[in-house]
Structure 1
Amino acid sequence: MMSNAYSAGKGYITIITKDGPVKLLVEYAITPAEKAKGLMHRKSLPKKQGMLFIYQKPRAITMWMKNTPLSLDMFFINHKGRIRRIEEKTEPNSTRQIHSGGRVSAVLELAAGSAEDFGISVGDQVILQN
């Protein structure tokens, strides 16, 4: 899944679900500053758009919702591009730690309800578009 061919800023990913492919527009969070800011202070997030946090080496990740007024679904993605864990409908502005449940290479954040709306499940394949 991971490659160095990211166009700066935004790109498309496709998630292969049991119901078929779901194409999403994502903002890339690659630098430490981009990852720290994430989706903080955003008041809206269109369906089929989100943020993809990319890590150079697989690691255990901890996220939180501080200063994030939106409820999100978080998808923790392993180094093979498979969804390892899903945290659905996070609590806005919460400082509760949300753990990846193991080593991951990326985290995808979408609007709350996206997992259910698009039929996205643990084990689904995530593919970066070039």
Structure 2
Amino acid sequence: MTYIKTSATLLLVLALGLAQAQDKPQQLPVTPLTAGMHLIQAEVAQTQEQRAIGLMHRPSMPTNAGMLFVFEEAGVQCFWMKNTLLPLSIAFVADDGSIVNIAEMQAMSEASHCSAKPVRYALEMNQGWFAKRGIKAGTKLRGKPWQ
């Protein structure tokens, strides 16, 4: 019985530690991208776990920073903002780097925002970033994924 209590306590401690670790923003490798003359420093989320965490738990983000989500294959990609403290704009991007559509997402919302057609990439930026720069559907992004 002592072994079970000890194991249960250990599991509880490990679970609490993991939950606290998940409440911290992840730090991922950064790649430079451009949208016309605008430079973007994009963290790259490539794994399922990295994509699931995304920009959750961040109280702020620099103006020209964002997160590029890379999927293994093209599909209709949908995002929500649960546990995301920042309002964001998301651009769904085709294999050639052209923006398919852009959606505005509210912080802490479970509303779903999807690509208008199958894509392999999505780029999240601070809300309004694309609009303030006149970047819209059809604009081409440049950088490592599209070289």
TM-score by length of 2: 0.76
SS of the residue corresponding to residue 33 of structure 1 reads helix
**Gaps in structure 2 of 5+ consecutive residues:** 1-27
State how 1:19-58 maps to structure 2 within 5 Å.
21-58=37-74
Question: Which of 112, 125, 129 lines up with 2:140 in the alignment?
Answer: 125
State how 1:16-95 maps to structure 2 within 5 Å.
16=36, 21-88=37-104, 90-95=105-110
TM-score by length of 1: 0.86
Which of the pair has more CA radius of gyration?
2
Amino acid at match of 2:41: L
Amino acid at match of 2:53: K
Q: Which has the higher strand share?
A: 1
2:126 corresponds to 1:106: no
> CA offset at residue 56 of structure 1?
2.4
- Paired with 2:39 and 2:45, the residues of 1 have a C-alpha distance of 18
Amino acid at match of 2:91: F
SS of the residue corresponding to residue 68 of structure 2 reads strand
Supply the RMSD in Å over aligned alpha carbons.
1.4
Q: How many residues align?
A: 118
- Paired with 1:85 and 1:77, the residues of 2 have a C-alpha distance of 8
The sequence identity of aligned pairs, in percent, is 31
